[in-house]
């Protein structure tokens, strides 16, 4: 078999060369590059980033040229693709998944004139800005709905990887659910992937089999929504509106709205005013959207969730307001204290009451 292996390696190398060609050059236009972790047709995370790319094209028309590379896995491959985009004369590159953080910084060092924007990360450089959305605000809203509506007092949560962004979501949803239903339990299953519809569906079924009657997910495909629809339970859309996959099942969806941010950053590059920084916007700034509430939600719950959404947007409510203990019982926030952004950005613990152990 070693001969075969060798052939595979050479073939792969040839393939990599073929795949890396493709970014054409044109003068005078601002060139914008994107790399996505999934396919743009995932109906979730990558789809919404691509909507943001289209918003750039719409805003600047012939003055920009955008390219994207989809299905780039988080690892050595990402570095190669980012480098390829940088070498092709791209002015600003958006790397849209957490796992691209180190590859982005590495390439950025080699190409100081190219601007980089890394989504959901926490490391900046003079030419690397980071941006993310306060999805946990959306999680607070759906947590209130789920806690009020569950009949089995069990919420199922399909999680991807134990990074702060995902952990924040679990904690925010749990705290909100708990605040309206002291008996609520949250079952979390980690599938160790952002996108694998089959595995996401298996996890959804496992959660339902174990008594969950409302599902939340932090993965990118609508598979769990479809399973919820077929089994007659409720779920929440993730990243994108998944209503078509669960017309009865979807109670509401947390929608990522990247367009305005992307347009403003490309504008800054054009004007020469771009600078590194860290942007973290929520419902108030429109980066996190909450889709229309389903009429399956009782009127009082709809009001509760709507009020919370408006209060979050106005900055009158924070999803992490004390008293909150960590899972091990140690104090985190005292009564009335709200979490600071540093704690949120690096969150690596469950709050008290969440079951199971957080993978470290």
Partner 1 sequence: MDLTILILQGVIVAATPLLFAAIGELVVERAGVLNLGVEGMMIIGAVAGFSVTLETGSHMMGILAAMLGGMVFACLFGFLTQVLMSNQVATGLSLTIFGLGIAALWGQAYSGMTTEPLAKLDIPGLTSIPIIGPLLLSHDILVYMSIGLTIGVGWFLSKTRPGLILRAVGENHDAAHAIGYNVVGVRMLAIMFGGACAGLGGAYLSMVQTPLWVENMTAGRGWIALAIVVFAAWKPNRALLGAYLFGGVTVLQLHAQGFGVKIDAQYLSMLPYLVTIGVLVVISRDKTKANLNAPACLAKSFYASS
Instruction: Kindly list the residues in this chain that would bind partner 1 in the complex (CB under 8 A).
Output: 1, 4, 7-8, 11-12, 14-15, 38-43, 71, 156, 162, 187-193, 195-203, 205-207, 209-210, 221-223, 226-227, 229-230, 244-245, 355-357, 359-360
Nearest distance, CB of residue 290 and partner 1, angstroms:
20
Nearer to partner 1, 141 or 201 (CB): 201
Nearest distance, CB of residue 193 and partner 1, angstroms:
7
Q: Are 226 and 201 in contact (CB under 8 A)?
A: yes
Within 10 A of 311 (CB to CB), how many other CB atoms are there?
Answer: 15
Distance, CA of 230 to CA of 246 (rounded, Å) = 8
Nearer to partner 1, 224 or 288 (CB): 224
Distance, CA of 136 to CA of 131 (rounded, Å) = 15
Nearest distance, CB of residue 293 and partner 1, angstroms:
20
Nearer to partner 1, 14 or 314 (CB): 14
Distance, CA of 263 to CA of 131 (rounded, Å) = 13
Nearer to partner 1, 201 or 251 (CB): 201
Contacts of 12 (CB under 8 A, 6+ apart): none
Q: How far apart are the first and last CA of the chain?
A: 37
Nearest distance, CB of residue 195 and partner 1, angstroms:
7
Distance, CA of 358 to CA of 360 (rounded, Å) = 6
Nearer to partner 1, 41 or 346 (CB): 41
Nearer to partner 1, 162 or 322 (CB): 162
Distance, CA of 342 to CA of 346 (rounded, Å) = 6
Distance, CA of 276 to CA of 310 (rounded, Å) = 30
- Output the DSSP codes for 200-225: HHHHHHHHHHTT--EEEE-SSSTHHH
Nearest distance, CB of residue 17 and partner 1, angstroms:
13
Q: Single out the residue of 354, 329, 274, 278 nearest to residue 32, CA to CA.
A: 274
Nearest distance, CB of residue 191 and partner 1, angstroms:
7
């Amino acid at each position: 078999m070693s001969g075969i292996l060798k052939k595979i390696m050479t073939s792969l190398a040839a393939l990599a060369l073929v795949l890396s060609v493709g970014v054409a050059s044109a003068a005078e236009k601002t060139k914008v590059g994107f790399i996505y972790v999934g396919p743009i047709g995932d109906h979730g995370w990558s789809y919404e980033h691509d909507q943001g790319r289209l918003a750039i094209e719409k805003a600047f028309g012939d003055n920009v040229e955008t390219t994207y590379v989809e299905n780039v896995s988080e690892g050595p491959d990402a570095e190669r693709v980012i480098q390829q985009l940088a070498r092709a004369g791209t002015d600003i590159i958006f790397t849209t998944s957490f796992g691209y953080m180190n590859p982005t910084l590495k390439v950025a060092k080699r190409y100081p004139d190219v601007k980089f924007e890394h989504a959901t990360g926490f490391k900046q450089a003079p030419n690397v800005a980071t941006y993310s959305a306060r999805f946990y605000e959306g999680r607070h809203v759906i947590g209130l709905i789920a806690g009020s509506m569950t009949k089995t007092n069990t919420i199922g949560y399909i999680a991807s990887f134990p990074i702060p962004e995902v952990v924040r979501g679990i904690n925010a949803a749990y705290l909100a659910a708990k605040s309206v239903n002291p008996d609520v339990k949250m079952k979390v299953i980690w599938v160790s992937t952002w996108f694998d519809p089959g595995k996401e569906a298996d996890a959804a079924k496992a959660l339902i089999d174990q008594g969950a009657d409302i599902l939340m997910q932090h993965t990118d495909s609508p598979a769990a929504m479809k399973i919820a629809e077929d089994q007659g339970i409720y779920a929440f859309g993730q990243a994108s509106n998944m209503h078509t996959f669960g017309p009865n099942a979807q109670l509401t969806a947390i929608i990522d709205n990247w367009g305005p941010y992307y347009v403003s950053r490309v504008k800054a590059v054009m004007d020469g005013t771009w600078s590194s920084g860290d942007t973290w916007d929520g419902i108030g700034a429109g980066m996190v959207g909450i889709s229309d509430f389903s009429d399956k939600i009782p009127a009082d719950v709809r009001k509760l969730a709507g009020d919370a959404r408006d209060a979050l947007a106005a900055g009158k409510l924070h999803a992490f307001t004390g008293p909150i203990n960590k899972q091990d019982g140690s104090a985190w926030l005292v009564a009335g204290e709200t979490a600071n952004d540093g704690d949120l950005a690096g969150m690596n613990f469950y709050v008290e009451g969440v079951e199971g152990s957080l993978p470290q």
